[in-house]
Amino acid sequence: MKCSRCKKDAIYYQRQSGQYYCKEHFNGHFVKKFMRGIREDRLIKKGERVAVAVSGGKDSITLAFLLKNLRERYPFEMEAIVVDEGISGYREDTLKSAKKQLEELEIDYHVESFEDSFGKTLDDFVEDDKEAACSTCGILRRYVLNKKARELSCTKLATGHNLDDEDQSILMNLMRGDVIRFSRGQNYYKNISDKFVERIKPLRYFLEKEILIFALNNNLSFDSSECPYASYAMRGEVGRFLDRMEEKRPTTKYSLLSGYDKILPALNKCFIPDSIGVCESCEEPTMEGVCMRCKILEK
Ligand code: SF4
């Protein structure tokens, strides 16, 4: 097939718009949509200091690349935070890949490890309960990222979550009956405590496969190996379900996120308090007496 905008061969058919894209027009469309999202959602203000969470995978590397390009035309500061959870046989390579690409992009970065922060690797934490790997990893990583971003005086923490990630989280929270997590949304952290660095997700309206194509088109080096704990997670099953739905009913993934965004203000009002307290143990913000991170460490 030919590109809908020129006569070159198409590399991608976007089902939701019915458009075919050649490499150049796909790149142009992707960058334009990214810039529009930053501008319309006011994700980054002039002069702000932004921390980018980089894992070494395609999403976070693409985000770092796009923000680096944006910085050339729009004044803000940025640096990257790379978290080493301590997952043997996996993290070493993704870490190497993240450092290599960040150095090529000339982005300053900081590596923060679970071992330095908590005295143990993720492998140690979940030695007897691998099913708990992703929830433990998520709680501890969020803590490390927030703390480091705060130390660096960053006012935004950008993560590479894509549309597929967002939809999976919406369904997973709902299926678990976790009303609080389901009702938080991305602005939760901004409003509830000044100890949380505001999170932004500039890629949340991009399909995972579009990010992959963009990363390949731009010769970004990323690691695509899968974490050994991923097979224990519910996320993979929910992701496969969403893929099947999208295949049968194109735009399902967009509709789910946009529907969720519409009901979010009402969910916030019903289930999220205006402010929260601090953990009795570490004094970080929490809705419970002792925060989840401290509960994990105590265990
Ligand atoms: Fe952490 Fe789970 Fe992701 Fe592995 S798959 S990096 S354990 S959240």
197-232: buried (b, 16+ CB within 10 Å) or exposed (e) per residue?
bbbbbbbbbbbbebbbbbbeebebebbeeebebeeb
| pLDDT tens profile 119-149 | 999 999 999 999 999 999 999 999 999 999 9
Ligand 1 centroid from CA 18, angstroms: 34
Question: Is pLDDT of 188 > 80?
Answer: no
Question: Is pLDDT of 274 > 90?
Answer: no
How close are the terminal C-alpha atoms of the chain, in Å? Answer: 57
Tell which CATH architecture fits domain 43-298. 3-Layer(aba) Sandwich (3.40)
- Residue 101, pLDDT score: 95
With the most atoms of ligand 1 within 8 angstroms of its CB, the residue from 121, 142, 227 to mutate is 227
- Residue 118, pLDDT score: 95
- Residue 285, pLDDT score: 84
Ligand 1 centroid from CA 109, angstroms: 21
Q: Is the CB of 126 under 6 A from ligand 1?
A: no
Question: Is pLDDT of 8 > 80?
Answer: yes
Question: Is pLDDT of 275 > 80?
Answer: no
Percentage above 90 pLDDT, the chain? 84
How high is the mean pLDDT of the chain?
93
Start and end residues for every CATH 3.40.50.620 domain found in the chain: 43-298
**Weakest mean pLDDT among 190-204, 222-236, 247-261:** 190-204
